[in-house]
Amino acid sequence: MDFRHSSGQKNEPEINLVPLIDVMLVIIIFLMLTTTFNKTAGLAIALPTADASGAASAAEEIIVAVTSSGDIIVNGRTVSDKSVDAIASALANARPAKGAEPVVVINADAQAAHQNVINVMQASQHAGLSHVTFATQRESRR
């Protein structure tokens, strides 16, 4: 039995790419229609707005300095005990009697111990001060 074609022509396999391209285009169109492009941020921050025509009232600030040697200074007065309760007491004494809640501004030295900054943050929470911010400075470009 001879299964060869009698005409002598060889049949080579033919690869047709048109169906593959059609399927890929359908998938791309499907993905383009179903994909949503949302710009999401890790933190939801509501930025304040300012009106240049009126004079803005400055919020009260309690300035807390944390030095590299571990000293904690609240509004120019050094806190002798570094415990959270002592810092909270100093923050409560620095709080104004009435008016808007003050902002605690932490000026921490770049070489200050991380634990001292955390203690100040915990102390402000214990003193009922929820507005805490950090003071920074820009890098000098040389």
Mean pLDDT calculated for residue range 5-14: 69
* 4 or 102: which leads in pLDDT: 102
Q: What CATH number is associated with residue 106?
A: 3.30.420
Q: What is the pLDDT of residues 54-76, one digit of tens each?
A: 444 556 888 898 888 888 999 88
118: containing domain: 61-134
Which residue type is seen at 26?
V
pTM: 0.56
120 within domain boundaries: yes
Cα separation, 73 vs 90, whole angstroms: 9
Name the percent of the chain in helix, strand, coil, to the closest 5: 30, 15, 55
Total structural domains within the chain: 1
User: How many other β-carbons are positioned within 10 Å of the β-carbon of residue 50?
Assistant: 8
- State the pLDDT at residue 47: 46
Q: Of the ranges 4-8, 100-104, 114-118, which is most confident?
A: 114-118
